[in-house]
Amino acid sequence: MTCKEAVVEVVECARRRDNRADRGIHTEPGRDLRAHLAICGACSERWEAERQLTAHLGTIRQQTAALHLASPASRREALVRDFARMQPSLPGRPARMRYGGWALAAAAGLVFAIALGRQAGLSGRESAIRTGQAVRMEPAVLYESNSLSSDASALSSDDFVAIPYTPPLAPGEMVRIVRGDLYPEALAGMGVEIDLLAWSKAANVPVEMIVGEDGIPRAVRITESNSY
């Protein structure tokens, strides 16, 4: 047995000892490994180190096993409420509230898109917009809808695609339009409809992103070229 083979066996054997300890089964090194450990100081030292490491990792696992056995009920209930809200035919919620919320969010999105388009046209590589002044995004609309998808829709326009699961912009928060390149797969992951096969031979896709003050992109669109 070579040292390379022995080290592989040492690691696996040490891990098996830990995994089987609870069931009272102890896996000792095989005959070949034992013979190698008897003559090789380095591998013998590694065996001892692996055994100690396994013991410490086992301690961490056992001592943290009882952590957070259940999430706080309030969080769970809030999440389940959000889930219920996302269901289209949930009983007990007036339809006009749902459609009203969407209409308001769409209207806010339209105003936002127009404002962004004007600002982008006036600026060069990067522009800054104070949402509370230039865009007139109604925070009440976002909070009333109280769902991620409606926040996202407020940022959507014909060009920009809202990136799902990003936090909503605060009233008055500055946003920037940042140009850059993204992998096609990353864009697809953001929900942008993109022909991955067509883009597969291109290195990156030129994009513009609306980025909040926290540096998190909220919406993205593909641009014509990457000449910036």
Q: Using CB under 8 A, list all residues that contact other proteins.
A: 7-8, 11, 15, 18-19, 46, 49-50, 52-54, 56-57, 59-61, 63-65, 67-71, 75-76, 79-80, 82-84, 86-87, 89-90, 148-149, 164-165, 191, 215-216
Q: Give the whole-angstrom CA distance, residue 146 versus residue 142.
A: 6
**Residue whose CB is less far from other proteins, 56 or 118:** 56
How many other CB atoms sit within 10 Å of the CB of residue 3? 13
Q: Which is nearer to other proteins, 165 or 183 (CB)?
A: 165
Give 66 or 203: the residue with its C-beta nearer to other proteins: 66
**Residue 112 C-beta: closest distance to other proteins, Å:** 21
Residue 18 or 173 having the CB closest to other proteins:
18
The residue type of 200 is S
Query: In the 8-state DSSP scheme, what is residue 203?
Result: S
**In this structure, are residues 142 and 154 in contact, taking their beta carbons and an 8 Å threshold?**
yes
Q: How many CB atoms lie within 10 A of CB 153?
A: 19
Q: Distance between CA 128 and CA 124 in Å, rounded?
A: 11
Taking the complex as a whole, the smallest distance from the CB of residue 61 to other proteins amounts, in Å, to 5
Q: Which of 173, 150, 167, 183 is nearest to 218 (CA)?
A: 167
**Residue 27 C-beta: closest distance to other proteins, Å:** 15
Smallest gap from residue 185 Cβ to other proteins (A): 12
